[in-house]
Structure 1
Amino acid sequence: MLTLATATWGSAFIAGKIAVQSFEPATVAFLRFFGAAILLFPLMWIMEKDRKRPNLRDHGLFALLGLTGIALYNICFFFATKHAPVIKSSLFIASNPVLIILLSGLFLKERITKNHIIGMAVALTGVVFIITDGHLLTLFQYGFEPIDFVLLGAVVSWAIYSVVGKVVLKKFSSVESTTYAVAYGTLFLLPFASAETSWMDIQQASITTWAAIAHMSIFVTVVSFVMYYNGIKEVGAAKASIFINVMPVSAVIMATVFLGETFTMAHGIGAAFVLTGVYIGTNAKMFQRRINKQTMKNETA
């Protein structure tokens, strides 16, 4: 479920690239989540018959989720999609699991295991291979630029969103959490979208642009966010964050299929590293089971 959710997020790079040709970043984000909110509220009413009424503290947490994971992250993401080099932006986004694991350990007291660290390192190595096409020295060609603050903002926003989401999920379902977060995020995005977009811009947008936004609303947001939040509830924010490394792999594959880009040997090696890292990171007792088996064998002998 987490693999499918994060793989679907990879398509946001392609859909976002199409959408920002017609609209500014905040407008793309607003339209994406406004469409998602229209779908999520009926879904919540149907699926959650016995839902709890949020109190003032709950609304504060939902507002924080909307501000970080919906508004700020997506403004930064779409702005970077339009203005930053793909190599740099992909590397920044791929570093999310590092910060999520650290924040989960600090604030949620989740146990950070050796497998988490090893899996994250292996997966991140694969990501670097993919986004540099095997030319690791490419990373040093980019100096510090103002856009780095935007990319750092995206990473910090998503990390906070994931960690706060774990707190919210103790009381609310994944559908409820996603719906309220999207609602608040859409409200936060409205002033920015209103300021930068005219009615003429909306009328002149192509069918391709609207299809890209619809895809992000339905699949990248509604379906994937609910699955991701449900995954956090099942396995914890630290372990779930490792699956974010699947996103660049799917982005490369989709770029090959839909944009005609070439799938290289480096992409294949990187994908293998990512999948290996995810497997190691999500099997915390893998090495322990092997040690126990060896110990039992020695005792039997």
Structure 2
Amino acid sequence: MDQRVLNWGIFLLLSLTWGSSFILMKLGLASFSPYQVASIRLISAGAALLPFFFRFIRQTPASKIPVIILSGLLGNGIPAYLFCIAETRIDSSLAGMLNSFTPVFALIFSLVLFHSPVLKRQVLGLMIGFVGVILLFLVKGVDANAYWYYGFLVILATACYGLNIALVHHYLKEFQSLQLVSISLFFMGLFALPVLLLSDFSATFQAAERPWMSLAASCTLGLVGTGVASLLFYQLIRSAGAIFASMVTYGLPVVAIGWGFVAGEAISGWQVLCLGVIMGGVYLVNRK
């Protein structure tokens, strides 16, 4: 299969997976605290990949382990808690739109910290896609009573994502995706375990109506939205480069609107036009 076709396939699958994670967070938060949802997410992802951790940890140079742990913190650990805290006050679709700041931070960190060569058309494509997201944000509209300062937690999370993309591209690109993900998520799960235990997690299940739906949503978020998605994302960084991989977040508003359509929300022609602008920017970045 042509590598560019494969890259686009991963791009679309990641957009669908990560775009759905915001609604899963909301379902988890129906019964659990943001710290509990984020901890369950990280623990379940780390546990699912535990057999691969024991296989790859022996093959990984000791000097690279701290870098992989840092990548896990920036790419999964810190953002997991920031997003869950933010979604206690802002709408999941707004969180998905704000997540589109990731490519901007990826470009900034690549230029400032690593002096990476970037083509002019890639910068142009990134800016076009970002304008499309802003227009979509304006067309969709936001609740006037929204807690705007919680949106900055999402922007801080996207800064972590952007730095992680640049870090992986320059220091960890030679490693297999499964190797990076299994090791990083093992440590993230290890760090999250005391947070969950100290949050009085068991008390939630003593209520008359046990929160099994929230637990299932949080575990699915970990297994699919973190475990599987991280595998695909690291692979996309390796095969398509940091800039194109970062633009996956431009596809998330598309999925957010799709969930809104399923939920019965009206989809306007302006929204479709904005999505076309976003995809045009993505095409410019990945064009030969």
Task: Give the TM-score, by structure 2 length.
Answer: 0.85
Contact 2:128 2:281 in 1 (8 A): yes
Q: Which residue of 1 aligns with 2:133?
A: 127
Q: CA 1:203–1:117 in structure 2 vs 1: closer, same or farther (change >3 Å)?
A: farther
Contact 2:86 2:153 in 1 (8 A): yes
Alignment of 1:141-290 (within 5 A): 146-202=149-205, 204=207, 205-257=210-262, 259-283=263-287, 285=288
Contact 2:101 2:155 in 1 (8 A): no
Contact 2:36 2:196 in 1 (8 A): yes
Contact 1:127 1:274 in 2 (8 A): yes
Q: CA 1:230–1:91 in structure 2 vs 1: closer, same or farther (change >3 Å)?
A: same
Aligned residue pairs total: 277
Q: Which has the larger radius of gyration?
A: 1
Q: 2:13 matched to 1:4?
A: yes
Tell me, in whole angstroms, the C-alpha distance in 2 between the residues paired with 1:37 and 1:98. 29
**What's the offset of the Cα at 1:134?**
5.1
Could you list the runs of 5+ residues in structure 2 that have no partner in the other structure?
1-9
Alignment of 1:103-114 (within 5 A): 103-114=109-120
Contact 2:181 2:231 in 1 (8 A): yes
Alignment of 1:71-82 (within 5 A): 71-82=77-88
Deviations 1:65-98 (A, max 9, x none): 2222222111111111111355753443111100
Q: Which residue of 2 aligns with 1:37?
A: 46
Task: Give the TM-score, by structure 1 length.
Answer: 0.82
Q: Tell me the percent identity.
A: 22
Contact 2:35 2:195 in 1 (8 A): yes
**What's the offset of the Cα at 1:160?**
1.8
Q: 2:21 matched to 1:21?
A: no
Could you list the runs of 5+ residues in structure 1 that have no partner in the other structure?
286-301
Alignment of 1:48-87 (within 5 A): 53-85=59-91
